[in-house]
Amino acid sequence: MARAATLPDAFDAVADPRRRQILDALQHGERTVNELVDLLGLEQPYVSKHLRILREVGVVSVRDDGRHRRYRVHAPALKPIHDWASQFERAWTQRFGHLDTLLEELQHLEADHDRDQTDPSDDRPPDSGADPDHP
Amino acid sequence: MARAATLPDAFDAVADPRRRQILDALQHGERTVNELVDLLGLEQPYVSKHLRILREVGVVSVRDDGRHRRYRVHAPALKPIHDWASQFERAWTQRFGHLDTLLEELQHLEADHDRDQTDPSDDRPPDSGADPDHP
DNA sequence: TTGACATATACCTATTTTGGTATATGATGA
DNA sequence: TCATCATATACCAAAATAGGTATATGTCAA
């Protein structure tokens, strides 16, 4: 009974790192299946299967072009993820903003944007005990 | 061999709708495990297990308070998700912005924000064939 | 200390998912 | 038409996960 009885959504689709890789690869334009196979180093059938999942969720779309099928990102389907995460945006800016001393850390965070993507354990400040958010 | 040999990250943690529910419930402050059990209607052990996953990924943190354990969201750990999705932000605003005719659809999208969260199949415009993004 | 409460962990089974191999479908060019 | 390239699907094994039940751990109150 894996992954509760909910229809797969964009969150599921994006949870898999390979599928994120695919989306990253598609970010700057269309790609054929074989191009993605080369990029990811996976077996062609499995790339097709990943693409199917991404397609079912609406995150990518296909266009037939002769004997190729060109995939592209359908960005609006990713918006819900962005929006959902935005709920917490205020919280994380607050967390770093409410103390002047941490302004520097905020800038550091902005700069290290990229490393941040994959290493969430780094930007965590030592738990300060008292939290103004929860009186 | 489920879910490739990658350490679980925030994306995995957030892929599960129950865990998203937990995070939503924690959005406005701390909660004890039992409060979450009541809110989610799941068995207590399973809520604890979800919380453990969220903790391991750094998305929530705990604070011991007598015989309670108060959980709270650790928002910065969600930032990578937000940032990743932002990569595509330009694409989705462009897609609806570059044609005046679609302005209306954009507004529709803004309005139906909530439904959007769960139904990505709706905001997809009829494939227009020509795509300025991919010359 | 004992009992009640709050939470975590161990263990179990059915179900998914992963990724692979073999094969089918479908379009193109000769 | 046939051979070939490009992609999709069927099927299979191993492993992870979702939930559940039973139980352990830890804390307070009397």
Higher per-residue confidence, B52 vs A133: B52
- Establish if A75 touches chain B: CB-CB under 8 angstroms: yes
Q: At what angle do helices B17-25 and B44-57 cross, to 10 degrees?
A: 80
Residue appearing with tokens 């929860």: A134
**Structure confidence at residue B28 as a pLDDT band (50, 70, 90):** confident
Q: How far B15 CA lies from chain A's nearest CA (Å)?
A: 5
pLDDT of residue A45 exceeding 80, the answer is yes
C1' of D30 to CA of B11 (Å)? 47
Average pLDDT over residues A64-87: 92
Is strand D within 7 Å of residue A64 (CB)?
Answer: no
pLDDT of residue A8 exceeding 70, the answer is yes
Q: Do B120 and A88 touch (CB under 8 A)?
A: no
Higher per-residue confidence, B103 vs A20: A20
d(CA B15, CA B50): 12
pLDDT of residue A41 exceeding 90, the answer is no
Q: What percent of chain A has pLDDT over 90?
A: 46
pLDDT of residue B63 exceeding 60, the answer is yes
Strand D bases, protein C-beta under 7 A: 5-10, 13-23, 26-28
**Structure confidence at residue B41 as a pLDDT band (50, 70, 90):** confident
| Residues on chain B touching A116 (C-beta within 8 angstroms) | 79-80, 83
CB neighbour class for A51 (10 Å; exposed up to 12, middle 13-18, buried from 19): buried
Please tell me the predicted confidence (pLDDT) of residue A111. 52
Q: How far apart are the first and last CA of chain A?
A: 40
C1' of D1 to CA of A104 (Å)? 73
- Establish if A72 touches chain B: CB-CB under 8 angstroms: yes
CB neighbour class for B104 (10 Å; exposed up to 12, middle 13-18, buried from 19): exposed
**Rg of chain B taking only CA atoms, in angstroms:** 19
Q: Are A121 and B58 in contact (CB under 8 A)?
A: yes
| Residues on chain A touching B30 (C-beta within 8 angstroms) | 134
Please tell me the predicted confidence (pLDDT) of residue A126. 37
SS (H, E, C) chain B: CCCCCCCCCHHHHHHCHHHHHHHHHCCCCCEEHHHHHHHHCCCHHHHHHHHHHHHHHCCEEEEEECCEEEEEECHHHHHHHHHHHHCCHHHHHHHHHCCHHHHHHHHHHHHCHHHHHHCCCCCCCCCCCCCCCCC
Is strand D within 7 Å of residue A63 (CB)?
Answer: no
Alpha carbons within 13 A on the beta-carbon side of B40? 26
Please tell me the predicted confidence (pLDDT) of residue A40. 87
d(CA B47, CA B38): 10
pLDDT of residue B129 exceeding 60, the answer is no
Name all domains of chain A by residue range, CATH numbers in brackets. 10-74 (1.10.10.10), 88-118 (no CATH)
Average pLDDT over residues B8-37: 91
Q: B42, B43, B88: which to substitute to probe chain A, counting the most A Cβ within 10 Å?
A: B88
Please tell me the predicted confidence (pLDDT) of residue A6. 62
pLDDT of residue A44 exceeding 50, the answer is yes
* Nearest chain A alpha carbon to B114: A80
